[in-house]
Amino acid sequence: MDAAEHAIARPPARPAVPGLVAGLLLCLLAALPFFVTSLPQMTDFASHLARYHVMLDGGQSRWLARYYDFAWIFAGNLGADLLMVPLGHALGVERAAWLIGMAIPVLTGLGIVAVEWTLRRRIGAGSLLAFATIWSPAMGMGFFNFCLALALALLAFAGWVRLEGWRGRAPLFLGVGLLVWLCHASGWGVLGVLVFGYEWHRRKGLGSRRLAAFVAPWPLLLPLVPQLLTGGARGALDYGGEILRYKVLIWVQALRGQSLSLDLFTLALLVGFIAIALVLRRIDGRLGWAALILAALSLVMPRHFGGGDYADYRLIAVSLMIGAMAVDWPVHRLGFVLAALPFLVRMGVLTIS
């Protein structure tokens, strides 16, 4: 058993509760940009509102029915749409969409905290820096379903680790995996990579038994059934032109927000932090393998996949998030503030914008 595994087997006698409270406060701050506007300036927000409006109208408007139709399809891209059914009828389209959007970054922050606390029983520098990736380009463009699925994937992974050894974990995660997939298939994929990376590292030194890590995520495979029955997601699989140039550009713009200089500085800080941690052997393999796989997937995946755009781009910020969380580096007081500063600055700039 290595040091990281020993830490989860025997959590510290006095958990860093103040750090946990501060981490939860940062989760709430992630929603700050929503509180300064009733119509968030996100690329896809207006088109989401239009779709929700047609969906909730249900053909009652003669004018809408003339131009639009709506039909439910059981597919891995329905997260916010399903939430809009009760919330939209109760609150109205605009208020319900605002509420869902506001909840997503909070849930993502809670996912980061849940994973960190489950693995280490404290909030360290890595998870604090990971907060800077919550408002990724995917969130800024308003990819609600994917971002919701990512938040749920983080929370589900924390549950996977926490319930290790419990006989009911497998049947429970048959439903959990289906729920995450129903929100968005890419979020389900992230969950699978997280579980595989964790199980792969956990079997370190076991020789051929390590191959069992490929089978360990089997409870997450239930969504394959509807995909096989329906023929899977339909859409073009396309890398586009000038592949190398495009891949370099999306990595340079991995944290594209409101300020190019701030985006590049944050990216350099995260990559440098992870590199230093790697040299100092502070990378926790329980998350490190997943970060490496996600980074590799961002390079080999096409831009258009399963009917969605930027399938590769959205994974870059996720790989940086998981990579930062993999850094096992405790901090206290001033170190805590410094590690949270990139997130706080980005929230300030975004909120003002």
130-164 tens-digit pLDDT: 999 999 999 999 999 999 999 999 999 999 999 99
Question: Tens of pLDDT along 257-294?
Answer: 989 999 999 999 999 999 999 999 999 999 999 999 99
Contact by Cβ (8 Å): 190, 236: no
Query: Rounded mean pLDDT of 29-45?
Result: 91
Contact by Cβ (8 Å): 152, 179: yes
Locate all alpha helices (DSSP H) within 233-284, ordered by sequence: 243-252, 260-279
The position carrying tokens 């919550």 is 134
Tell me how far apart the alpha carbons of residues 65 and 88 are, in angstroms, rounded to a whole number.
Answer: 19
pTM: 0.91
Structure tokens at 205: 């030194």
Give pLDDT, residue 14: 52
Whether the per-residue pLDDT at 4 is higher than 70: the answer is no
Residue 242 DSSP code = S
Give pLDDT, residue 216: 93
Whether the per-residue pLDDT at 10 is higher than 70: the answer is no
Residue 282's closest CA among 290, 269, 291, 273? 273
Dihedral pair phi/psi, residue 23, rounded to 5°: -65, -40
Residue 332's closest CA among 122, 110, 150, 79? 122
Tell me how far apart the alpha carbons of residues 93 and 331 are, in angstroms, rounded to a whole number.
Answer: 43
Dihedral pair phi/psi, residue 71, rounded to 5°: -140, 135
% pLDDT > 90, the chain: 76
